[in-house]
Amino acid sequence: MTANQTARIRRIFWLICAKHSPEREAFQRPNRKATNLRAHIKFYLFLFVTFLLACSPASADKRVALVVGNSIYKNAPLLPNPANDAAAIAATLKGAGFDTVDVKSNLPSAEMRRALRDFADQARDADIAVVYYAGHGIEINGTNYLIPTDAALERDTDVYDEAYSLDRILLAIEPARHLRLVIVDACRNNPFSDSMKRTVTSRSVSRGLARVEPETSNTLVAFAAKAGLTAFDGNSKNSPYAEALVKHIATPGLDLRRAFGFIRDDVLKATGNRQEPFVYGSLGGEDVALVPASKPVASTPSVTPQSEIRREYELAVQVGRKDALNAFLTQRPEGYYASLAKLQLAQMVAEEARLAATEKARLAEQERTRLAAEGAHGADLDKAAADAKVTEEARIVAELTKQTAQQQTAEAERKRMMADRPAAGPIPETQIAAIEAAPGETAANSSASTAKGMSLASLDAGSSQAELTKSVQEELRRVGCLASSADGQWNAETQRALSAFNRKARMKLNVKAVSADTLDAIRQNPSRVCPLACEHGFKADGDSCTRIVCAEGSFLNDDNECEKRRGKTPTARRDDRDHRDNRRERTDRRERPIRERTQALPEASIARPRVSDGGSPQIVCNAYGCRPVRPGCRIDYQGGSPRNGTGGNVEVCH
């Protein structure tokens, strides 16, 4: 539009808006000139509005991103994943429709500074600004730094000159109007910790990165691992964190907080709960999606015979019982969906055969264990062992048959959903997993009643609350949380079973009332959830309890464990103590006279006989001692003992 045309349009608007003017009065006269003027006004108004619409900015938000992957470091070991992770994230953001995605690899310090400065210019007129960094990072004194590829970091103070703090990244994206997001996949071990010199002993250098608190609103900082912990590179081309980002970050219409929640769950599962991603910052109450939700295309659904058959088939599969599928085949004996229903029935029959074979194998093994524990030998034990072997082989065959039927059914369902997607719209992955897993699992509890006279209309309208309760109880029995039979009563035992399921599956289902959502949630678990509880003397063996047989010389203790018997310890008896006392008394009685005689005359009081020179060699003793016989005297024995004064040898002198 030229300057003359713009001036003319302004003149026309002035004529219209002026209250009193000769031109306005002339404009209001009903003549040919006024008519031509009105036509010109309409034409230029149309051009003016078109010009405004063409020159106005687009209503969609402008989204820009900077993706950096540093793998090849001059003074640190090679990191294989960052370059691959950066390429995957960049491809995801480009596929999500970002206006600008600037990809940088192996940036030295100067190029990293230039990249941040250029991206800050792009973020000034952007609504959403995203920075993704993969490489080495370090935390010093509570501040996080991103390491360029040419950094040496010989001293801890070099980090201020050779690295870039996370605050510098936040400063670059601060001008963005609606959302600022920094994703840091740099929570790896510090490669410079061993060689870096500490200039101040109080300056801390920790593993991982430190937590951050963004000062600007609507700003999120996402770490691959929680503050103070390190992330894993994984064994594949991309790290577990990058794989989860690619899966969830660009989901249309998905709020970022929920997206990072899904990313956290996937990383915890992939790393065995050893790595937990974390997000710092806050957003408002409205959903903030990195990729806006696509607008649904309004279309009038057309009801065709094929769509009606599909609806009936899906209803029969959702009921998950043989009689429902038989009723569908009664009404629709031929066709594509009839073949799918037959596959579903074959899967249920295979599951029933597997359960029966498993039970027979358990009973045979239990009988063999019982005979072995009772010490049976010969033909009985050999027969029991042969039966156990045969039933175990039959169980393995039934298990393989069931797996084959399940794979065939899952593949057929996957092809069906891919074929039905253009007409029925996209199908969530959770629904695909439920259709693949639920039929084979619910077949274990399917009813054996006949399908004669049953119609799908009665299945749709006649599923009463009792039937729903019974179905939930059967599913709780299948996952091992309910021990009693399914009676259709929502009693206290069933509520306790659902509470146990909530604890083990980490869910929050309402235990006070039953609902179809509860049934669908339990069916999402293809295997046992609650652990098998066995009585004393039995142990869990798969889905059954087997008797515990202890080896010879051991016994089963109160903790349900085999314990080795201890040898017998000799104990003192009363008759043994009496026998020892009597023997001691007899010995004392024999030795007492000797002790008394010895004690009557102390050794000190008995004089040793001495023979003087020229004296007699004879000795005479009395109650006072012994002495040599005096010269000229002799000894005369008069009977008795000189010790007690009754005589004995006496000295006789003449």
Would you state the structure tokens that stand for residue 226, as one six-digit string?
A: 């929680």
Decide if pLDDT at 506 tops 60: yes
Q: Which pLDDT tens digit goes with each residue over 321-364?
A: 888 888 888 888 888 888 888 888 888 888 889 889 888 888 98
* CATH code at position 161: 3.40.50.1460
The residue among 37 and 460 whose pLDDT is bigger is: 37
Same domain, 124 and 259: yes
Per-residue model confidence (pLDDT) at position 108: 94
Asked if 226 and 328 sit in the same domain, the reply is: no
Which range has the worst mean pLDDT, 124-128, 386-390, 539-543? Answer: 539-543
Same domain, 48 and 74: no
Last residue within a domain, chosen from 407, 429, 463? 463
Question: Do 144 and 72 share a structural domain?
Answer: yes
Residue 502 lies in a domain: no
- Domain boundary among the residues 429, 463, 497 is at 463
Structural domain including 34 reads 3-55
Most confident of 11-20, 85-94, 638-647: 85-94
Report the range of poorest mean pLDDT among 12-16, 188-192, 313-317.
12-16
What gap in Å lies between CA 206 and CA 189, rounded to an integer?
A: 9
DSSP 495-511: HHHHHHHHHHHT----S
pLDDT of residue 650: 77
Q: Are residues 88 and 234 in the same domain?
A: yes
Considering only residues 141 and 426, tell me which one the structure prediction assigns the higher pLDDT. 141
Helix ranges restricted to H, 249-335: 256-270, 305-319, 322-331
Residue-wise DSSP of 146-168? EPPTT----BGGGHHHHSEEHHH
Q: Which of 250, 251, 231 is nearest to 240 (CA)?
A: 231
Confidence band for 612, pLDDT divided at 50, 70 and 90: very low
pLDDT of residue 340: 86
pLDDT at 526: 77
Same domain, 73 and 147: yes
Asked whether residue 259 carries a pLDDT value surpassing 50, the answer given is yes
For 198-221, what is the mean pLDDT? 76
In a domain, 533, yes or no: no
Clarify whether residues 8 and 70 are in a common domain: no
Mean pLDDT, all residues of the chain? 76
pLDDT digits (tens, 9 = 90+) for 179-198: 999 999 986 667 777 677 77
Q: What is the pLDDT of residues 519-528, one digit of tens each?
A: 878 887 878 8
Confidence of residue 388 (pLDDT cuts 50, 70, 90): confident
Give how many domains the chain has, as a whole number.
Answer: 4
In a shared domain, residues 26 and 84: no
Residue 474 lies in a domain: no
**What's the whole-number mean pLDDT along residues 198-206?**
62
The pLDDT of residue 124 is 92
The predicted-structure confidence for 62-121, as pLDDT tens digits, reads as follows: 999 999 999 999 988 888 889 999 999 999 999 999 999 999 999 999 999 999 999 999
313 pLDDT exceeds 60? Answer: yes
Main-chain dihedrals φ then ψ at residue 653, nearest 5 degrees: -115, 140
**Between these two residues, 654 and 360, which has the higher pLDDT value?**
360
Q: Confirm whether 482 is domain-assigned.
A: no
Lowest mean per-residue pLDDT among 261-275, 468-482, 633-647: 633-647
Residue 505 has pLDDT above 60, yes or no: yes
C-alpha–C-alpha distance, residues 382 and 442, integer Å = 38
Asked if 94 and 51 sit in the same domain, the reply is no
Domain boundary among 415, 431, 463: 463
Residue 479: inside a domain, yes or no? no
pLDDT digits (tens, 9 = 90+) for 397-436: 888 888 888 888 888 877 777 665 544 444 444 444 444 4
Question: For residues 199 and 140, what is the distance between their CA atoms, to the nearest angstrom?
Answer: 12
Count CB neighbours of 346 within 10 A: 18
Q: Are 609 and 623 in contact (CB under 8 A)?
A: no
Largest interatomic CA distance in the chain? 207
**DSSP code, position 644:** T
Amino acid 51: pLDDT: 53
Q: Within a domain: residue 294?
A: no
Residue 3 φ/ψ, nearest 5 degrees = -70, -35
Residue 23 has pLDDT above 70, yes or no: no
Q: And the tokens for 600?
A: 């009557």
Give the pairing of strands 63-69 and 128-134.
parallel
Q: Are residues 69 and 187 in the same domain?
A: yes
pLDDT at 294: 73
Asked if residue 370 is part of any domain, the answer here is: yes
Annotate 524-542 with DSSP letters as a single string: T--S--SPP---TTEEEET
Helical (H) or strand (E) element with 219:
strand 219-223
Q: What are phi and psi of 628, to 5 degrees?
A: -70, 150
Rounded CA gap, 26 and 629, in Å?
191
pLDDT of 568: 58
Query: Do 385 and 315 sit in the same domain of this protein?
Result: yes
Q: Would you state the structure tokens that stand for residue 323, as one six-digit string?
A: 């009689």
